[in-house]
Amino acid sequence: MDNCIFCKIINQEIPSYKIYEDEVVYAFLDISQVTPGHTLIVPKKHAQDIFEYDEALASEVFARVPKIAKALQAAYPEMQGLNIINNNKEVAYQTVFHSHIHLIPRYSQHDDFSMHFGNHTDQYNPELLSAIAKRIQAQFEA
């Protein structure tokens, strides 16, 4: 899609902090970083939401979730849990209309995580995102 920010990220037209990429998905850090390591997994094939997936795409995309989750856990051994969230349609808090899966590391029951997603671009910190991305990327090389 021409105006899709995630398609532009996948096509390297907009910079991102890539965590993982293969022929099916592109995974990168969410610029809001709800918690350190907050990652988005995006299918390379544009699909607005889960309702546009067919069985094959669902199988391929969701099959990558454990691999990326394990890299997060290896990069952050202090991680105590992980939320996997997929918002579909505006009423369900989807704000970018290219399907994506949030992996949100949890470090304690009292961290700053909230189930309500907003646009937190005021928290954007390029140095922090770069350091987090490198830490997680190293887990795929191990």
How many CA atoms does the CB half-sphere of 67 hold within 13 Å?
17
Count of domains for the chain: 1
Domain assignment present for residue 124? The answer is no
Residue 29 lies in a domain: yes
CATH number, domain of 38, equals: 3.30.428.10
Contact by Cβ (8 Å): 49, 39: no
Instruction: Please write the tens of the pLDDT for every residue from 14-67.
Output: 999 999 999 999 999 999 898 999 999 999 999 999 999 999 999 999 999 999
**Is residue 16 in some structural domain?**
yes
The residues with which 83 forms a beta bridge, in sequence order, are 104
Known catalytic residues? Answer: 100
72 assigned to some structural domain: yes
**Has residue 90 been placed in a domain?**
yes
pTM here? 0.85
- Specify if 126 maps to a domain: no
